[in-house]
Structure 1
Amino acid sequence: MKGRAGRIAVYAVLAVLGAVVALAGALVQAGWFPLGLLLALGGAVALFHGGARLTRTKTGAAAPAGGWMLAVLLLSSSRPEGDFFFGTGWGTYAFLLGGMLAAVICATFAPSGYLFRTDATTR
């Protein structure tokens, strides 16, 4: 796939991977505390930064961050029985806020594709 359809497909895959990383991080951060929290945040940062480096756009970091955020919001909503997926504690809040901060940082400092072009038309 080339062009616009290829970029959209890559962004969609990155968004799905963001949701998967959020689900895995939600399970790991509480199960293996405190190393699980570091592992969960490290996985999120790696995905956000990797998406930005892969596509060389800010959208490459924003697509997995959007999938991550959507999954986290769905997991943090209460069920009719009153249950929550996330437990209460500072580790959960560190995961939520740390993931959001990582998404913003990776999207802000995403590499631009124009920095890597060497042809004469961009000079």
Structure 2
Amino acid sequence: MNDRTPVLAQPLQRPSAGRAAVYLGLLVFGALIGVAGSLVQAGWFPGGLLLGLAGEAGLCLGAARAVRSRGAAVAAAAGWMIAVVLLTASRPEGDFVFAAGAGSYLFLLGGMAVAVICATLGPGRQPGGDAVRLGK
């Protein structure tokens, strides 16, 4: 092999059915947190906004740490994003969940920022054990 040939540590494998079920559950749970946060943020403006964003941060970061993958945080954030975006659309009757106020925009933009931060802070895939450390 020459120096420019990429070497994969492990061949790519399909995710197991259990892992796919966990990610699907996190997607649904993220949607539930998004709906709850949408209703709470308008009801109790300063505290509800912080509570909704803290709920999303706890879900995304907790999922990433529990599954030990950034993909879990992304799945939870995707569920949150889908639910919140669907709730921003108005219905033919004129009903909507989000009012055109500063709190709603802070919830939308803050939630997106929290999702990116939590997906970045989540643990990446690292090999385990002492043998993989440099100098050992």
User: Normalising to structure 2: TM-score of the pair?
Assistant: 0.82
* Structure number with higher helix proportion: 1
Unaligned runs of 5+ residues in structure 2 are: 1-14
Does 1:39 find its partner at 2:51?
Answer: yes
Within-5 A mapping of 1:14-33: 14-33=26-45
- Bigger shift: 80-89 or 42-51? 80-89
The 5-angstrom pairing of residues 46-65 of structure 1 reads: 46-65=58-77
Please say if 1:118 is aligned against 2:90.
no
Aligned equivalent of 2:24:
12
Give unmatched runs, 5+ long, in structure 1: none
The equivalent position to 2:80 in structure 1, one of 68, 73, 76, is 68
Q: What is the rounded CA distance, in whole Å, between the counterparts of 1:13 and 1:104 in structure 2?
A: 20
Q: What is the percent sequence identity of the aligned residues?
A: 57
Aligned residues: 119
Would you identify which runs of 4 or more consecutive aligned residues in structure 1 move more than 2 Å? none
The structural deviation recorded for 1:56 is: 1.3
2: CA distance, partners of 1:109 / 1:48: 10
Return 38-47 or 49-58, whichever deviates more: 49-58
Q: TM-score, normalised by structure 1?
A: 0.90
Give the counterpart of 2:113 among 95, 98, 101: 101
One-letter amino acid of the structure 2 residue matched with residue 51 of structure 1: A
Which of 70, 94, 99 is the equivalent residue of 1:87? Answer: 99
Partner of 1:75, secondary structure, is: helix
Secondary structure class of the residue paired with 2:16: helix
Which structure has the larger Rg over C-alpha atoms?
Answer: 2
Let me know the Cα RMSD of the aligned residues. Answer: 1.4
Task: Quote how far apart the aligned CAs of 1:119 are.
Answer: 5.4
